[in-house]
Homo-oligomer: A and B are copies of this chain.
Amino acid sequence: MHIYCRQDLLLNSINTVLKACSTKTTMPILECILLTAVNNKLTLVGNNLELGIESTIEADVIGEGFIALEAKIFSEIIRKMPGEVIEISSDENYMTSIVSEKSKFQIAGQSGKDFPALPNVEKVNACTIKQIELKEMIRQTIFSVAQDETRPILTGEMLQIKNNSLNMVAVDGYRISYRKMELSNENDDIEVVIPGKTLGEINKILSSEENDQVNIYFSDKHVLFDLGESKVVSRLLEGDFLRYEQVFSPDYETKILVNRKSFLMSIERAALISREGKKNPIRVEIDGDKMIITSNAELGTSREELDVVLEGKEIVIAFNPKYLIDALRAIDDDNVYIQFISSLTPCIINPEDGDQYKYLILPIRVNS
């Protein structure tokens, strides 16, 4: 392989595929980036067998071929190269020379043949949305993905197409985060579970430009996000996800409308005290048009008072403040509805207008 390419384009591409490179593995080839030069294009691939990312740039290809280079050192070398143009050439022993102006590196590569190919996902029945919308949906749900592995399926997020709306749902046993978006074109119904870790990496690659779109394709075991210049393939998790629809009950005994930011900041303050204790809950009391939030630990106490609009009965209920904080931070609206049935059943946070999200949070039982 022998090519010339632009340093800035190459570095960009490396930073994209690096997210799929293993850092600790018993298979050293997974710590590499595969470079393939053909038809005046240079294609880079990172693949840790759970997540695979491919990125293609323009290059001046003198000799076609492929080579696998250790990702960390390759990215550091390219990042620090002095010139705008990089020359990369490798010989039959995989010895690769990287040259820019008066800097020259020689590093040992590995055969590109040993690098695992990306799984093939047929490009039929694309679900097409804006990258910025997918980014938003991931941001607003991913924090509820289970961190422990006791139920592996919950370490992923369900991506569901149903009645031409795209739903994303994350559940960790204490809460459910749900986000929905209407699709503009016709789509077949589908349900898959994508590992949370790989969604986190995809999120970093998605563009924030208003007009950039992503085509999503599905196979039995994989999902492909086609972003144009880069492609992301993720393994799917197998197993039964929670039937979340049944859990969101429309019934309530208490429903309040509250300013999201004031509520969030009050809970963050109360959490300063409660987290000093052994994860003491915070206590929320709806008393007419007031919400009183108190917390209590060896260290001291705190009390917050907020205005709310109450519909239904007064209530006293306690929560792990972290779960309320995560949900309220993810929401952008000025005001939210919160509905309660009793102090032993979950509360649900809904938008003031519309049904684009729902957050369900289990309370903590306390002795009053």
Contacts and interface: CB of A to CB of B under 8 A. Distances in A.
B272 A76 contact: yes
Given A73-B272, A272-B77, A299-B73, A265 B82 contact: yes
A266 B103 contact: yes
B82 A300 contact: no
A108 B265 contact: no
A103 B272 contact: no
Nearest to A307: B102
Contacts of A299: 70, 73, 107-108
A302 B80 CA distance: 13
Given A265-B82, A272-B76, A302 B104 contact: yes
Nearest to A304: B103
Given A73-B272, A76-B272, A272-B76, A102 B305 contact: yes
Contacts of A300: 73, 105-108
A301 interface: yes
A101 to B, nearest CB: 9
A81 B265 CA distance: 9
A108 B297 CA distance: 11
Given A266-B103, A299-B70, A299-B108, A80 B272 contact: yes
A7 to B, nearest CB: 13
Please give the count of copies of this chain that the complex contains: 2
Interface in A52-110: 70, 73, 76-77, 80-82, 102-108
Contacts of A306: 102
Interface in A193-235: none
A289 to B, nearest CB: 13
A8 interface: no
A303 interface: yes
A260 interface: no
A80 B265 contact: yes
Contacts of A114: none
A302 to B, nearest CB: 5
Contacts of A303: 103-105
Nearest to A99: B303
A80 B301 contact: no
Contacts of A70: 299
A77 B274 CA distance: 12
A268 interface: yes
A287 interface: no
A273 B102 contact: no
A77 B270 CA distance: 9
Interface string A264-298: 01101100110010000000000000000000000
25 contacts: A73-B272, A73-B273, A73-B276, A73-B299, A73-B300, A77-B269, A77-B272, A80-B272, A82-B265, A102-B304, A102-B305, A102-B306, A103-B266, A103-B269, A103-B302, A104-B303, A104-B304, A105-B273, A105-B301, A105-B302, A106-B300, A107-B273, A107-B299, A108-B299, A108-B300
Interface of A: 70, 73, 76-77, 80-82, 102-108, 265-266, 268-269, 272-273, 276, 299-306
